[in-house]
Amino acid sequence: MRDLHQVASEAREASYPLAFSSECKRNLALKNIANILAENAAEIFSANQADLQRSEENELPGPLLHRLKFDQAKLEQVILGLNSLQTIPDPLGKTTLSTEITPGLDLYRVSCPIGVVGVIFESRPDALVQIASLCIKSGNAVLLKGGSEAHDTNVILCTCIQKALQISGLPENGVQLLTSREEVSAMLKEDEYIDLIIPRGSNAFVRYIMDNSRIPVLGHSDGLCHVYIDREADPAMAIRLSVDSKTQNVSVCNAMETLLIHQEIAPAVLPELYKALLSKGVTVLGDSAVRQLIPCGTATDEDWSTEYLDYILSVKTVSSLQEAVSHINHFGSHHTDAIITQNIDTASDFLNQVDSAGVYWNVSTRFADGFVYGFGAEVGIATGKIHARGPMGLEGLTTYKYKLLGSGQTMDDIKQMKYSYTHIALDKADPTRIRRE
């Protein structure tokens, strides 16, 4: 195992020139990553085939194999994300507060990188590129640990990214790959050099990380998402959105896992919805009221708190909006939940009362995505409430510092003066700007 203390130290050293680099140079790195990935496509696909073959031999479930696959379509999607990220305004150096405390003493709050971030993510090689590119754009160094199933693919992807950083004039140690559990355990102890850990996985996994590190943890945990079909829903829309929420990609965190349906509309919707789900290969489990309407399996109490990431859906009838909201707030993971209804007041109550990072009206849960939101990509979808919530893009990877610009004042001087606290218009010249190399 490598010396993780040295690895973390190198990441810290790389974080300083990254933080001070120009937007132009960081965008150049993203452009070079896209070009180098395209140039090395054959090698990337070959490494991915080795990962897939090994995982098939180890009987990795089908949905997880789907996550692992990195083919031409995934490469094109990744390159599209890299190109899109270059067009997004620089998240660094943004002034969010400007106040004249007294004449000649001005206070500014300005965005800056977090520093060094450690990200532990699932067996999705495309996630490695997304996370690394977001960190580069936001001026952060990053230590990456993907699922072991994607080892070969992750190694070549990280090598391509490091090469792009080097030819762009940025430190290649700004992006580094961890390849073993032992390295993860060692990383969790590096609170001197690492500023934030972002684990993507189950609640139990995130809790383990929190319990075993002094480094602040921002968890991307379970995606136990719901769709609630209200009694005033349009039946055709309800069926279309429910099928998309469940089956467009079953192995992702924003796929629906539980469908709630008002008992008054259930007879009109469930039989046709059941046929549509069956045609997509979905196994439906329902409560007693649901089973009286369709010939599905039996849902147990455990199903209401299960993230399947598979072609399985639990369905429950409710008697009111409030029952639906209570169920979601109790069993959900505070990720993404949607209501389908034609009643604006009902929708408003749902959106205000459901305690989730994303609350949707008449739209598929699959839209919970940083790229869709215009963030370029996402490091993860944060289900907590501190610092970042929902798809975590560039803004979530920044913090801020206060810059106080004076003209020789001492605290004794200020005691003799009145505080003016006058807002400084941001359209005026901003003296907090720094020259970025």
Instruction: Give the start-to-end residue ranges of the domains of the chain.
Output: 4-220+379-398, 225-367
For residue 419, with 0-12 CB atoms within 10 Å meaning exposed, 13-18 middle and 19 or more buried, which class applies? exposed
Q: How confident is the model at residue 429 (pLDDT cuts 50, 70, 90)?
A: very low
Bridge partners for 358 per DSSP: 336
Tell which phi-psi region holds residue 256, choosing left (phi > 0), alpha (psi between -120 and 50) or beta: beta
Q: Token pair of 195, please?
A: 């500023």
| C-alpha–C-alpha distance, residues 172 and 175, integer Å | 6
The pLDDT, as a whole number, for residue 419 is 80
The pLDDT, as a whole number, for residue 435 is 45
Is the pLDDT assigned to residue 428 strictly greater than 70? Answer: no
Is the pLDDT assigned to residue 369 strictly greater than 90? Answer: no
203 vs 147, which has greater pLDDT?
Answer: 147
Q: How confident is the model at residue 221 (pLDDT cuts 50, 70, 90)?
A: low
**pLDDT > 70 in the chain, percent:** 97
The pLDDT, as a whole number, for residue 154 is 97
- Of the listed ranges 59-63, 374-378, 401-405, the least confidently predicted one is 374-378
The pLDDT, as a whole number, for residue 251 is 83
Bridge partners for 113 per DSSP: 398
| Domains 4-220+379-398 and 225-367 alike in fold | no
Is the pLDDT assigned to residue 366 strictly greater than 60? Answer: yes
The pLDDT, as a whole number, for residue 158 is 98
Q: How many CA atoms lie within 13 A of 313 on its CB side?
A: 32
Report which DSSP code applies to 275: H
| Amino acid identity, position 44 | I
Query: With DSSP H G I counted as helix, E B as strand and the rest as coil, what are the percentages for the chain, rounded to 5?
Result: 45, 20, 35
CATH superfamily, region 4-220+379-398: Aldehyde Dehydrogenase; Chain A, domain 1 (3.40.605.10)
pLDDT average, residue stretch 157-163: 98
Report which DSSP code applies to 106: E
> Are the C-beta atoms of residues 51 and 149 closer than 8 Å to each other?
yes
The mean predicted confidence, pLDDT, of the chain is 92
| C-alpha–C-alpha distance, residues 38 and 76, integer Å | 9
417 vs 100, which has greater pLDDT?
Answer: 100
The pLDDT, as a whole number, for residue 51 is 95
pTM, two decimal places: 0.84
Could you give the residue ranges of the DSSP H alpha helices within 263-343?
266-279, 288-291, 321-331
CATH 3.40.30.10 fits 225-367, yes or no: no
| C-alpha–C-alpha distance, residues 2 and 22, integer Å | 32
pLDDT, tens digit (0-9, with 9 covering 90-100), for 317-350: 999 999 999 999 999 999 999 999 999 999 999 9
> Are the C-beta atoms of residues 354 and 225 closer than 8 Å to each other?
no
| C-alpha–C-alpha distance, residues 393 and 378, integer Å | 5
- Of the listed ranges 233-242, 389-398, 412-421, the least confidently predicted one is 412-421
Q: Token pair of 203, please?
A: 């609640």
Which has the closest alpha carbon to 120: 154, 92, 73?
A: 154
| C-alpha–C-alpha distance, residues 340 and 11, integer Å | 46
Taking each helix axis from N to C end, the angle separating 266-279 and 235-247, rounded to the nearest 10 degrees, works out to: 40
pLDDT average, residue stretch 55-66: 87
Residue with tokens 């963030």: 375
pLDDT average, residue stretch 264-287: 97
Q: How confident is the model at residue 436 (pLDDT cuts 50, 70, 90)?
A: very low
* Residues in the chain, total: 437
pLDDT, tens digit (0-9, with 9 covering 90-100), for 18-50: 999 999 999 999 999 999 999 999 999 999 999
pLDDT, tens digit (0-9, with 9 covering 90-100), for 279-315: 999 999 999 999 999 999 999 999 999 999 899 999 9
